[in-house]
DNA sequence: CTTGTAGCAATTGTATACAATAGAGATTGG
DNA sequence: CCAATCTCTATTGTATACAATTGCTACAAG
């Protein structure tokens, strides 16, 4: 929604103000707030007023650790259920990732799109509604995705090559291996995020 | 809510019918349906109509595996952050569990209440909003809780003694150990559930 | 007899009006 | 001057009316 970056942490969200801003009534705004609450992007203070949730670095670390475990489980299930057609899709998806990052000036948006699709394909292959639901709420972290803007070449390359390792595990239908690789993949993505985040914080401090 | 057992799987949920039944208007009913959707207790069919979600044994197994991982992580964090006051609370909580199950005719409701509190204390000690949110949606499985009605004595005793093991891990602030014990604890709870469930299914088939 | 289309009924999505509630500020008693 | 309470305002919770969409059924044409 519009609040993916436009609103600052802790800011009050009046239902009526948002409704005016979006040109709709309060009813659909309330619906949207309920969903965002479920995803912890919005929280309520003691008196039931909605606020933009504030995410500390520790909170993000926590979310990534959970994502590592859960998406690792997804990879395990996916490996056990993998069919050749899906495997082909994953391969071409990772090729597209390579195309996006191989040039001197990487196509960051292209990387993000194909990367998202890569992980979604795995999630679909795992074939678990519960997983899909849980991960959905963990993956929607606009802050994190924007951080990819600051990835270095080695971070892009690492991501691509770890996907290749994952494909090898899928090809062997090796669930435990796929789980281990995926969990490590996510945890390293967090480290890249944390580095970039601290870098950003430094920049922000410098600019202020 | 009222639909925790009163409505059968796959049944259509008309917003207006539920509103009449509860004596309120459609607006709060819609709110409730959104929440239950987020917890996968309700889903929507292709034409946006709400249905009671149907849970196969495989789906439940899946949810338990996720819960094992996530609650294991919660136990690890809790162990790393444990303070003596919380540890005392956990000890007395597990004693209360023992009191409830030691007699010839176990107090099932008492067991469930204290067991719930035991796990909630650990979740609080883990001090992670994300964890609390994710587990909340995994733990609300009315079907599962009712199955405890069919637990045998050994299942109750096992549960209590595994809690004791967990307390030992907490006392040592041993995160990895606590995680392993908790994960195993949850997985064994599923096996007890699956056995009871199959038993129930057999009974149902016999009665029909 | 089958198939396509039009219209009807039922249900969900949205808007608006009203009720309840919590917080801030003023006012009065000590 | 401080504190307690009361009132007023801002915001959320709820109800109801209306619009839009979907699925079904009946009817007609091939």
More confident residue, B46 or A169: A169
Pair A78, A155 in one domain: yes
Give chain B positions within 8 Å (CB) of A128: 59, 62
Pair B94, B181 in one domain: yes
Let me know: does A130 contact B63? Beta carbons within 8 Å.
yes
Instruction: Judge whether residue A48 contacts strand D, using its CB and a 7 Å cut-off.
Output: yes
- Mutation target among B62, B180, B190 for the A interface, most CBs of A within 10 A: B62
Q: Which tens digits make up the pLDDT trace of B151-171?
A: 888 889 999 999 999 999 999
Pair A13, A97 in one domain: no
pLDDT band at A96 (very low <50, low <70, confident <90, very high): very high
Which of A39-48, A120-129, A135-144, B161-170 shows the lowest mean pLDDT across its residues?
A: A135-144
Domain of B127, in residue numbers: 57-207
What pLDDT was estimated at residue A2?
A: 62
Pair A93, A76 in one domain: yes
B73 vs A63: CB contact, 8 Å cut-off? no
Pair A25, A80 in one domain: no
The number of distinct structural domains making up chain A is 2
- Residue with token string 């670095």: A57
**B47-52 long-range Cβ contacts below 8 angstroms, 24+ apart:** B49/B12, B49/B13, B49/B14, B50/B12, B50/B13, B50/B14, B50/B15, B51/B10, B51/B11, B51/B12, B51/B13, B52/B3, B52/B7, B52/B8, B52/B9, B52/B10, B52/B11, B52/B13
Pair B74, B176 in one domain: yes
CA atoms within 13 A on the CB side of B37: 18
Q: What is the DSSP string of A49-62?
A: -EEEPP--HHHHHH
CATH classification of the domain holding A16 = 1.10.10.10
Instruction: Judge whether residue A27 contacts strand D, using its CB and a 7 Å cut-off.
Output: yes
Q: Is any Cβ of chain A less than 8 angstroms from the Cβ of B130?
A: yes
Least Cα separation, residue A191 to chain B (angstroms): 19
Q: Is any Cβ of chain A less than 8 angstroms from the Cβ of B22?
A: no
Pair A115, A188 in one domain: yes
Instruction: Specify the nucleotide whose C1' lies closest to residue B17 (CA).
Output: C11
Pair B180, B80 in one domain: yes
CATH classification of the domain holding B97 = 1.20.120.530
Pair B44, B62 in one domain: no
Pair A123, A136 in one domain: yes
pLDDT at residue A162 above 50? yes
Q: Which tens digits make up the pLDDT trace of A58-75?
A: 888 888 999 999 999 999
């Amino acid at each position: 929604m519009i609040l993916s970056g436009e609103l600052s942490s802790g800011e009050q969200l009046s239902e009526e103000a948002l409704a005016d801003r979006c040109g709709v009534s309060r009813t659909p705004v309330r619906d949207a707030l309920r969903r965002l609450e479920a995803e912890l992007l919005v929280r309520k203070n003691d008196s039931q007023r909605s606020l933009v949730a504030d995410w500390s670095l520790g909170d993000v670390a926590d979310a990534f650790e959970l994502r590592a475990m859960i998406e690792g489980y997804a990879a395990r299930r996916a490996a056990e259920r993998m069919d050749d057609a899906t495997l082909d899709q994953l391969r071409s998806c990772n090729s597209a990732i390579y195309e996006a990052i191989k040039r001197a000036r990487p196509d960051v948006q292209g990387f993000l799109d194909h990367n998202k699709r890569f992980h979604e394909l795995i999630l679909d292959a795992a074939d678990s509604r519960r997983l899909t639901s849980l991960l959905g709420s963990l993956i929607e972290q606009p802050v994190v995705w924007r951080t990819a803007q600051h990835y270095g070449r080695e971070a892009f390359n690492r991501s691509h090559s770890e996907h290749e390792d994952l494909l090898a595990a899928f090809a062997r239908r090796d669930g435990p291996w796929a789980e281990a690789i995926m969990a490590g993949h996510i945890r390293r993505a967090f480290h890249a995020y944390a580095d970039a985040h601290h870098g950003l914080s430094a920049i922000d401090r410098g600019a202020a």
